[in-house]
Structure 1
């Protein structure tokens, strides 16, 4: 059975990473004002896993629309985002491995977020694609920290929020929540259209950027990769 695609319109949050890659430019996409539409380039990165299997993480069809709050205050923004995140495997473990995929956004207020998780967000992801880290950059996220609940940040702060919150019974029949979609390889994807979240409390310059965290589990190894999209200005 090949991996399933999942489509969402409401978001939550999760994360894993042992290796990371940053794509495209680090500068803002330009100033954003009320009802500003920003097309974004997405990106793609491929890394070879321990047994020679190639892991590719891709963001396509990405865009953002920025609007002010209903009260038209400079400290509030509403963001509407659209994209498709996908993970593909090619090689010895492509069909037998399991894929976990979880997209999200990093949001910063008057702080440079070009370094991904490092800047104001817990974790140890490096900008250098040739270097790996054993640190889980999303380890500090709790189940209550979700994209759809909105983001409150002040100057010099940045946070990471993931989109998924999938409910299912655990082994004892109790409600459990997963911050990722888990499917058999070789393909998995998550798409979202006009997924909205609010940013409150930032009276200065604000930025955001997408990311996709992927984990591949096989009988012999676990491989991880995080892809970052291009930062965009929220004004």
Structure 2
């Protein structure tokens, strides 16, 4: 088993938009804009692949939510922190290169499989959409990459009613079986243009390449951004 750890946001923060998702009423939290910073503790989670070759664990997740300095009700800022761990018991020893999923077919691109197994973690952010597991697409095709990310980097999202976007906080190639950890602290996400309520939830996805290709996704608890 190998030990691979990352502290902070070591790569570019990037996001990819997806089409409008169906609304599912969850009755989570108040939709009114917060008047002061709000600390939101979030529960730990774990999910194992049916094959037992991958186990994803998320711990220490929390968010700090602030209203926009513009005080117009259409903007919010959230700082998110957490630790995502993937224990991978079996994977081909891939190499970084072109997309290469099962039996040389392209991967799903949710975490941009590119010749090696892959761990990615981030947040799904929606405007006037209750983000339930059955209301979001597991895959994202295309999108925009933001370069120059570093520890404390931030990303701004323009969201209209019914829109959902993926914000990737960090990712890591998995070149052999082992224990992989991605930790992030106070990664900033700014939401602009959403006059209604907004929600977010964490995701962590592990894709394993090869003839027995698999994707395992662990979602966090949805939380209100006001």
TM-score tier after normalising by the smaller chain length: 0.7 to 0.9
Distance 1:189 1:60, change over 3 A: same
2:71 corresponds in structure 1 to 72
| Alpha-carbon distance in structure 2 between the residues aligned to 1:48 and 1:111 | 30
Query: Per-residue deviation at 1:222?
Result: 2.4
Shift of 1:199: 0.4
Counterpart position of 2:157:
151
Q: Distance in 1 between matches of 2:146 and 2:87?
A: 30
Question: Residue 223 of structure 1 aligns with which residue?
Answer: 214
Instruction: Please list the CA deviations of residues 69-92 of structure 1 after superposition, one character each: whole Å capped at 9, or x if unmatched.
Output: 2222211101011100110124xx
Taking the aligned partners of 1:69 and 1:9, their CA distance within structure 2 comes to 23
Q: Report the more deviating stretch, 99-108 or 180-189.
A: 180-189
- Give the C-alpha shift of residue 46 in structure 1: 0.6
Report if aligned partners of 1:3, 1:185 keep a CA contact under 8 Å in 2: no
SS in 1 for 2:161: coil
Q: CA deviation at 1:148?
A: 3.1
The structural deviation recorded for 1:27 is: 5.1
Structure 2 contact 155–188 (Cα < 8 Å) conserved: no
Q: Partners of 2:3 and 2:118 in 1: how far apart?
A: 10
Q: CA deviation at 1:187?
A: 1.1
User: What's the CA shift string for 1:35-61, capped at 9, x where partnerless?
Assistant: 000000031111133xxx431111110
CA drift at 1:142: 3.0
Match of 2:192 in 1: 200
Quick one: structure 1 residues 217 and 14, their matched pair in 2 at CA, closer, same or farther if it must change by over 3 Å?
farther
Q: Using the alignment, how far apart are the partners of 2:49 and 2:224 within structure 1?
A: 29
| In the alignment, structure 1 residue 209 sits paired with structure 2 residue 201 | yes
After superposition, give the CA deviation of every residue in 1:62-111 in whole Å (9 maximum; x if it has no partner).
00010012222211101011100110124xx2696864111010011111
Once the two structures are overlaid, the 10-residue window that deviates more, 68-77 or 96-105, is 96-105
Q: Which residue of 2 aligns with 1:81?
A: 80
Structure 2 CA distance for aligned equivalents of residues 190 and 29 of structure 1: 28
Shift of 1:30: 5.3
Cα 1:44/1:140, change in 2 over 3 Å: same
CA contact (8 A) 1:82 1:192 kept: yes
Q: How many residues of Structure 1 are paired with residues of Structure 2 in the alignment?
A: 188
State the SS of the aligned residue for 2:2.
Answer: coil
Q: Is contact 1:3-1:186 (8 Å) kept?
A: yes
Q: Which residue of 2 aligns with 1:39?
A: 41
Distance 1:96 1:3, change over 3 A: farther
Q: Which residue of 2 aligns with 1:141?
A: 143
**Structure 1 portions without partners, runs of 5+:** 16-25, 126-136, 165-179
Which residue, 163, 174, 184 being the options, matches 2:169? 163
CA separation of 1:213 and 1:14: change in aligned 2, threshold 3 A = farther
